[in-house]
Structures are given as C-alpha cells and as structure tokens.
Amino acid sequence: MATTRDPRSVPNILYDEPPVKPPPILATGPLAWMRQNLFKSTFDTILTIVAAIGLVALTGGFLTWAITQANWLVITRNFRLFMVGLFPVDEVWRVNAGVLLSAFSIGFTTYAFIRIKFRTIGTIAAILIVMALIVPLTYLVFPPTTSYVTAGETAVQSGTSTEQPQTRLAFMGRAGEVIRVAFAPLAVSDEALVGMQGFSDRATNSLYNSALNRFATQARIADLSAQLAGDLLTSQQRTDAQETLDGLSVPDPVSETYALNQEPVTVSILDGATLEPLATAELDPAQFAAVGELNSDGSAIAAPALEFTLPADSWYVLEKRLPEDSEGVAILSVEGISPIFERNLTNRNEYIRLSDEFTIQDQRPEFEDRELPFVSITDNAYRGAKSFGDFMRLYGAPMLELLMRGLIPAAIAAGIGGIAAYGVVRARPKPSRNQSPAAAARALVFPLWALTLTLFFILLYGVSGLSPLELGYLLAGFVWVGWMFFAGVNIRQAWGRPLLALIVVLGLAQFSLSQGITPERAVEYIGNLSVHGSRLLSALLGIAIWFAIGFIAARQGAGRSDRFTRREGILGILITAGLWVAALALPSLIINTMVTNDAITTAHANNLLPVVDTRRWGGLLLTGVLTVVAILASFPLGILLALGRRSSLPLVKGVCTVYIELVRGVPLITVLFMAQLLVPLLNPGLATVENVIRAMVGLTMFSAAYLAENVRGGLQSIPPGQEEAARALGLGGIQITLLITLPQALRAVIPALVGQCIALFKDTSLVALVGLLDLTGIAKSVTAQPEFVGLQSEAYIFISVVYFIFSYVMAYISRRIEASGSGAVRRFG
C-alpha cells in the first residue's frame, strides 16, 4: 500500500529563481507593432508590400519635382498674405496677441481634459528644437546659390527673342559680405552650359536655351534618321520625315558662336550713390584656361576673380565690360548677389533680397538720370534642376524660419496655459471620490474660451476711440478680477488689507488716467460739478463696478472657506472704498510730476485699437474667423432646429422641416451668392452690411441645417424609457431635454459633429468665389502677380497642406474626447 507523505514534514527547499530575461525583440517595440499590424498574415504582408510600392511610386516623383523643379518662392515671399491677408502691417501684432491667447487657452484645455505625458511634451520640444537648428545649419553647411550674368556688347539670340547683356547691374548688399566675380566654368562647352544650376539673367538664359535647342535638334535628327533607316514607315510618312529632316540643321556650338569667355573682362563694383568704383579687376581668359596648372615656383594657378568686402548696407552696382571692339560674350559666376523682389507701396518702393529678407526702401542707383536695372527675380530666375542644398537655402530654411516665428511663441504660450491649469488643480481643494482631479480646471474652460474669443475679436476688429490708457485700465481690471478669482485675499492675514489697498490704488490710478483726470482738472471738476460731475461719477462708478466684480470673483473662486466672512467682507469693502477716495488725487499727482497735461491729453486722444476694415481680413485668419463664427452660431441654431423638428406643434415642426430640407437641397455656393447679391436687392437696407458678415450668415445658415440632422439622429438614439422615467420623477419637458436627452445625444454624435465642423472649415474656400480673400482667394490673387505666374501648383499644394493639418487636428481631438470618456455613451439594452 502506497503511503503519502505529509507535505508539512518535508523541509523547506530553497530554489534559485531563474534570471528575468528581456522579452524577445519581436514581442515589443516597433518591430512588434509592424509584425502585428503589417505582416500578421500572408495576405497582410502582400497588401503591405503592394501599398508600399504604390506609395513610393506616387511620392517619389512628387518629391523629386518638389525639390528639383518646384518654385516655392510663391509661398515664402507671400507667407504673411497667406496668414493674415491684407491686414495692416502695423496692426499685425493684434493678430499675434490673439493667437497667443488662443494658444494659452489650448494649453489650459489640453491639461484639463487630455493629460499629455512628459514624454510627449519632450518629443514636441525636441522636434521644435531640431526645426530651429536646421535653419542655421543650412546656411552653415550648404554654400550660397551661384548667380550667372553675361557681359558683352553682342546681343544674344534664342529663337525669336533677342537679349542684350546689361553693362551695369544694381544689387543690394550688407556690410561685411564678400562679393566674388569670376569666369563661369559652364561656358567652356555646350554640355557644361546645359548643366547650369543657379540664377541667371535674361542673356545667360538665352545662351542656355540656345544650347538646349541645339541638343534637341541633334536628337530630332538622330530620331528621324533612325526612322528612315528602318522599314516601318509608309511611303507618305517616309516622304514627310525626309522633308522634315532636310529642313533641320544643327547650329554651331553656342560656346563657339559667341566666343564665350575668350576675351578679358573688366569687372568693377561701384558705390550705388556716387557710382565711384570701389574695386576693379581684369579677368584674363588665358589665366582661367590654365587653372590647375603649376607656376614656375610650383604653386597652382588660381582662377582670376574679383573679391570685395562690402563696407555698408546699401545699393551697389556691378559693372562688367569687354574690350570696345570685342564681338564675344562672357558668362560670369557671381557669389554674394541674390535676386531681389520689388514691392510697390503707396508712396515708395520696397526692395527685398531673396536670400535673407534684407530690405531697402531707398531709390535705386541712377545712371544718366535713369534708374539702373537691378537683379530682379523676374529677370533672374533659377535655371536647371535644383540641388538639395539650393532647395534648403532658397526654400527649406526660409520656410522653417517663418514657421518658427509663430510656433515657438505659441508653444510657450500653450505651455504657460498648461502650467496655469496645473496651478488651478493644485490650488483647489481635493475633489470628492466621484470627481476628476482636473474638475476645477475643467470648470474654467468655458469662461476662459469665452474671454479668449471675445478679446480675440476685439483685437481683430478694433475699438473706436480706445486710448492706450483706457486699454491699460481694462487690462488692469481683468488682472484684478483674475487674481481675486484664483488667489483672492484673506484679510485675516497681516498682508491682506495692505495688498488689497495697493491693488485698489493702482486700479484708481489707471482709471483716473484713462479719464484724463489730472490734479488741476480734478480741482476744476470738483469746483464745477454741474458741468464735470458726470466724468467724476463715471470714474467712481467704474471703481465700484470693478471692485464689486473682483469681490464676487473672490467669493466664487478657489472655493476656500477662509476667504471672507460677512463681517470681514463688509469691513474690507469700507476700508477699500475709503482708500479709493483717499487716493483719488494720488495717481494724477504722481503722473503729473512725470508728464505734462498735454501728454496725458494726447495719450487719451490716440486710438490704440483702430477699427480694421473687414475687407482687409484674409488668408488663414479669415478662414479661421469664418469657421469659428459659423460653428459657434450654427451649433445652437442646429440644436433648436433639431428640437423643433421633433416638436409636437405642427407649425414649429413644419417650419423647421422646410428650412432644413430647403437648405440641404441647395449647394453652399448658391447660399453664398444669395447672401452676397440677392439679399441687397431684396432689401436695399442690407447693402451696407459688410461682405464678411454676409458670408458668416450664409455659412451659419447652411451648416445649421446639417448640424440639426446630426443632433436629431442623436436624439432618436435615446431610449424613450429615459424620458418616461424622468417624467415619473416630476421633471418638466425643458429639464428633461437639457439634463437628460440632449447631453447624451450630443455625446453620441460627436464624430458626426466634428465631421461637419471639418467640412465647414474646408467649405470656407468657396468664399473666394464671392470676392473674399481667404486661403484660396489669396492663392488665386498671388499667382496672378507677374513674379509668380504659372506657380498655381505650388500655391494650391501649400493651402492643401494647411487644410489637411487643421482638419487632422480636429479629427484627432474628436478621437481623444471619445477615448477619454467625455464622449462615451452608455449602451442600453
């Protein structure tokens, strides 16, 4: 009989645990993701390979064109137009301020609803740092783009066009820059000439085209000869081919026809104001031909060149001459000279250098009372396929620099917003078990965005008659209320009353100055209250209103019970009011010792935020404004239409149904044309309404109909049992809608609502057809300029990328809201 041994009698045996081994490489990380999502099965592998081949085939050609052939100057030169349209240059700071406020609110909202990991923040910061470093590294690693100019008195002919080389050419330069002029190596043969990569003037371009035509003619003759040697042509085709071949002849090489770089060239750099020579050199072709050979002393022969360091930021003139009896032509390579854009302003011309935004508003150099031709971008276009270095110097680095000017401040503002949200969460008392830790910050998101959008539109449109002092008073009031809301004053502490009094005194100083009250005027006003009493009353009333709002904000703020008791509150009000009155003359007395009454009057009279005509809004700014206004206005209207269509009242239901079906039955462009053209005809009183406002109304009416159907679908998904249960609890119809059905319906249709917002954002491009300069309108307007004719592809690709980025961001936010649970809907049944 087998016996079992009591486990308790077995002595404890210590086993050595095996060492923990890291997981296999294919179990975690990028390789595991690829194996799981791309190569999980044979079918997935085949599909992935086919998709990769198709992607390479599609993007390979596009990238080659984008780097070697595309001209992205249409974007870098007009970046401000694409962003803000014709918004006044001196007032662009208002748009920048509004963008920074929005970035702050985005950072605050992101922390409140979407907790971003520090790793993600670090990744974003690293990307911005790398993008910022690419700019200086580009200019450090890649050499400047070479420019080619032609010298000589012989006209260059290419086809039916004839170009005369310019003897003198004006250019812009900065102090310390080095200009180097030498014979161009590409002039030694036609093969080298067609390989030109750089900017060239019209005469050089004619030589380049002549060489291309010569090789094209050779290729055509070889092709026809091969066809005639075969037996695939009919008799008629053979006759036609022979006639074409007889009419073709290969021209002489361009380098021989024009004796390129066969004669000495005298090159001078002249002062732009006096035309006095600053440096002169004679380039010897014999020495150029012997470059690389050894001198008698064993040193290598250097290429003849003129090198000169510019003494100041100014205009200069490049003069190039061949001997008087010469019939040859010379092609010179120039380093340090970049093409120039000319911008015609109201009372002056502005010249901007392509390479680095260097700008001069002085008049161009003149010779014999005529302005000299300059290195304009129209006459000095890039020839040949661009190298990657030229692409980065001309387009890549300038574009990144323009983006960094906006992205870095916006990222800093968003970071400050996130820190502010963190401070709010830490300052508030701990929430209950059922509340999110970020509940305090989430409660502030709506008022924060309301304040942000209000200030944005005030900055954008302007306020008539607002002086700097009045704006300072308003900002001080907002700071006071915000400080009271977030921090408050505990006057039981020793610093409470003095600090409160100090803030009151500063607020009084701001308001007194905004009203233009100086000590002399204060005495005058008090002595003649019948005339000036209204101004004093408005000052005191403004003080009382701001203090009352601040006190209410403190009571509704961080939720601490030790802020103000009733007794302390009343005492604080009395003390503060006394300090307001006591300090009535103090700010004016202090200011009066620093500035004169006339200075105060001037500051009061100046308009800090002048009204900007909406016709000057444009670009991404106008697109964003139209989208935000249409979404904010159409959302409540769409909800009302959806509720009206479900109403039991026949009249309400019928009106809402007819409106929805009528608007959905016509295209958006029809609605926009009606808003722009038909409405003023039907009601002449509406002819004075600005076009932007009409477009906003049209977009709102159109979008509301589609939003109404989305919301109605969400309402129909709510089980009727919930409404019945709510009625059993005694809730009314409005309470049931606002508290029970509508919140769930909106959560259920978040994807549809965001999809409608994305569609509305893209549909704003149609306003370009009714005369507004949104992103699409700016692209259409810019490509009509002489400098950018034929660059429609580059312009529309750029705005397509902009539309995609913002649409993707909206879709990403929608997905995060759904994943976070804020948009989750309880499943029934």
User: For the segment 369-420, what is each residue's pLDDT rounded down to a tens digit?
Assistant: 788 888 777 777 788 888 888 888 888 888 998 899 889 999 999 999 888 8
HEC string of 87-106 equals CCHHHHHHHHHHHHHHHHHH
Q: How far apart are CA 16 and CA 398, in angstroms?
A: 63
Can you tell me the mean pLDDT for 662-667? Answer: 89
Convert 774-804 to b/e letters by CB count within 10 Å (16 or more is b): bbbbbbbbbbeeebbeebeebbeebbeeebe
Q: How far apart are CA 322 and CA 597, in angstroms?
A: 69
DSSP element (H, E) containing 224: helix 202-229
For residue 335, the surrounding DSSP H or E stretch is strand 330-335
Q: How is 132-174 classified by DSSP, letter by letter?
A: HHHHHHHHHHSPPPPEEEEESSSPEEETTEEEPPPSEEEEEE-
Do 154 and 331 form a contact (C-beta atoms < 8 A)? no
pLDDT given for residue 212 in this prediction: 87
- Within 10 Å of residue 703's Cβ, how many Cβ atoms? 26
99: CB partners within 8 A, 6+ apart: 406, 410
Q: Kindly list the distances between the CA atom of residue 379 and the CA atoms of 12, 70, 329, 364, 393, in Å, as whole numbers in the listed order.
A: 94, 18, 19, 16, 20
Dihedral angle of Cα 621, 627, 630, 634, to the nearest 10 degrees? -160
Alpha-carbon distance of 478 to 99, in angstroms, equals 19
Max CA-CA distance within the chain? 130
How many Å apart are CA 551 and CA 491, to the nearest integer?
A: 12
Q: Evaluate if residue 668 carries a pLDDT over 80.
A: yes
For residue range 670-717, list pLDDT tens digits in order. 888 887 777 777 677 667 778 888 888 889 999 999 999 999 888 888
For residue 828, the model assigns a pLDDT of: 34
Cα-Cα-Cα-Cα dihedral sign, residues 559, 562, 568, 573: negative
Amino acid identity, position 433? R
The type of residue at 583 is: A
802 — pLDDT class (breaks 50, 70, 90) = very high
The answer to whether residues 547 and 477 touch, using CB atoms and an 8 Å cutoff, is no
Q: Which amino acid makes up residue 516? A: G
Whole-number Å distance between alpha carbons of 21 and 27: 13
pLDDT of residue 601: 44
Antiparallel, parallel or unpaired: β 330-335 and 314-321: unpaired
Q: How far apart are the C-alpha atoms of 600 and 816, rounded to whole Å?
A: 52
Let me know: does 206 contact 157? Beta carbons within 8 Å: yes
Short-list 330, 337, 320, 379, CA closest to 200: 379
> What does the pLDDT look like over 521-567, one tens digit per residue?
666 666 665 555 556 666 666 666 666 666 666 655 544 444 444 55
**What are the C-alpha distances in Å from 156 to residues 130, 188, 217, 339, 684?**
47, 17, 19, 21, 61
What digits encode the pLDDT tens for the residues 751-793? 888 888 999 999 999 988 888 888 999 999 888 887 788 888 9
Q: What is the DSSP letter of 396?
A: I
Q: How far is the C-alpha of 215 from the C-alpha of 506, rounded, in Å?
A: 80
Query: Residue 207 and residue 159: Cα distance in Å, rounded?
Result: 11
Helix (H) / strand (E) element for 147: namely strand 147-151
Tell me which residue has tokens 């009061």: 604
Query: How far apart (Å, rounded) are the C-alpha atoms in residues 541 and 549?
Result: 12
Place of tokens 């509004």: 98
- Residues contacting residue 490 through CB under 8 Å, at least 6 positions apart: 496, 562, 563
**Cβ atoms of 150 and 201 closer than 8 Å:** yes
pLDDT at 440 over 80: no
Over residues 222-230, the mean pLDDT reads: 86
Q: Decide: helix, strand or coil at residue 66.
A: helix
Main-chain dihedrals φ then ψ at residue 169, nearest 5 degrees: -135, 120
For residue 364, is pLDDT > 90?
no
Mean pLDDT of 727-734: 81
Question: Euclidean distance between the first and final Cα of the chain, in Å?
Answer: 61
Q: Give CA angle at 735 (731, 740), nearest 5°.
A: 95
pLDDT class of 605 with cuts at 50, 70, 90 = very low
Average pLDDT over residues 442-458: 82
Task: Return the exposure string of 312-327: e unless at least 16 CB atoms fall within 10 Å of the residue's CB, then b.
Answer: eebbbbbbbbbeeebe
From the list 98, 242, 254, 239, the residue with the least C-alpha distance to 188 is: 254
**The token pair that represents 671 in the structure block:** 């609605």
Cβ neighbours, 10 Å, residue 553: 17
The secondary element (H helix, E strand) that includes residue 179 is strand 178-183
How many CB atoms are located within 10 Å of the residue 623 CB? 28
Amino acid at the residue 3: T
Distance CA 824, CA 784 (A): 49
Beta strands in 187-300 (DSSP E): 198-200, 265-271, 277-283
- Angle, vertex CA 632, rays to CA 629 and CA 633, nearest 5: 80
The rounded distance, in Å, linking the Cα atoms of 403 and 783 is 21
φ/ψ (deg, to 5) at 28 = -140, 165
Here the tokens at position 523 are: 């005495």
pLDDT surpassing 60 at residue 473? no
* pLDDT range class, residue 450, cuts 50, 70, 90: confident
Q: Look up residue 123 and give its amino acid.
A: T
Task: Quickly tell me which residue has 């109304």 as its tokens.
Answer: 697
For tokens 């000052």, the residue is 539
Please compute the mean of the pLDDT values over residues 97-116 and round it to a whole number.
86
pLDDT per residue over 302-357, tens digit each? 567 888 898 888 889 999 888 887 888 888 888 888 888 877 765 667 888 877 77
3-state secondary structure of 590: helix
Residue 609 falls in which region: left (phi positive, over 0), alpha (psi -120 to 50) or beta: beta
Axis crossing angle, helix 235-246 with helix 202-229, rounded to the nearest 10: 150
Residue 344 phi, psi (nearest 5): -85, 110
Residue pair 329/336 in contact by the 8 Å Cβ criterion:
no
Q: What does the pLDDT average to over 734-738?
A: 81
Q: Of the given ranges (245-254, 472-481, 584-593, 819-828), which has the lowest mean pLDDT?
A: 584-593
Distance CA 97, CA 328 (A): 59
